[in-house]
Amino acid sequence: MALVRSKFSRFVTAKNKTNRAWVQRHITDPYVRQAQQRGYRSRAAFKLLEIDEKDRLLRPGQYIIDLGAAPGSWSQVLRERVSGQASRILAIDLLPMDPVAGIEFLQGDFQEPEVLAQIDQWLNGRSVDLVLSDMAPNLSGVGVADAARVMHLGELALEFAAQQLKPNGALLVKTFQGSGFSQLVEAFKKVFQKVNQRKPSASRAESSELFLLGRDLKIQSKTDETKV
């Protein structure tokens, strides 16, 4: 009997090949191996480490908010590099996250009034030194729609940071080159005096992923300069 292969079977075969290629790349990735050796929850830790080596974002005594924190690799880096009794770090995500020693965690949507109220309570009248955002949307596979979701998350992080940062504070946001990217850069430039793009070596070369770093607010934060 002749073997008949349907379009579906060809699709499944192609998908399986793609999955196998991804698995092979993942297990041979040097950053994956280093993350396992050093106890980081994902290879993303090395992206923040490399950016910090260049830009010196992390210092003892800082107040930091980590948006889109799960699974917690950036929070692990913060725990290592930001220490001391004067430091406080708040990790926020829609998803649950296993505890990281020294990190306070809030599960919820930072846009929601009740979550914002909890953030204000945590701050207790202070502004933050640094806002980090490693947020990424659930992708649909439709390029235009996915690009819009990515840029929207960047805009939300920017709006949040503009309200929460000290005048000399900084915002680091993961984003992707593509539709809407130049508009996000321009939005950063309206808020920050210094705006830079970073592509750490831990970001795969074939990925359009990069990070936008804004430093020193052009605009006044949500309260007066008496905040410390």
pLDDT tops 70 at residue 17: no
What share of the chain has pLDDT > 70, as a percent? 82
Give the model's pLDDT for residue 205. Answer: 80
Give the model's pLDDT for residue 226. Answer: 38
pLDDT tops 50 at residue 224: no
pLDDT tops 70 at residue 6: no
Options 7, 174, 194, 222, the catalytic residue: 174
Q: Are 123 and 106 within 8 A, CB to CB?
A: no
Q: Are 114 and 88 within 8 A, CB to CB?
A: no
Place of tokens 């919820």: 108
pTM: 0.83
Whether 54 is a known active-site residue: answer no
Give the model's pLDDT for residue 179. Answer: 85
Q: Are 67 and 134 within 8 A, CB to CB?
A: yes
pLDDT band at residue 208 under the 50/70/90 scheme:
confident
Average pLDDT over residues 137-165: 86
> Could you read off the pLDDT of 37-53 as tens digits, one per residue?
899 999 999 999 999 99
Give the model's pLDDT for residue 9. Answer: 45
Average pLDDT over residues 140-155: 81
Q: For residue 136, is it left (φ>0), alpha (ψ between -120 and 50) or beta?
A: beta
Give the model's pLDDT for residue 189. Answer: 97
From the list 160, 85, 172, 81, the residue with the least C-alpha distance to 127 is 160
The DSSP H or E segment spanning 13 is helix 7-28
pLDDT tops 80 at residue 24: no
> Could you read off the pLDDT of 54-72 as tens digits, one per residue?
999 999 999 999 999 999 9
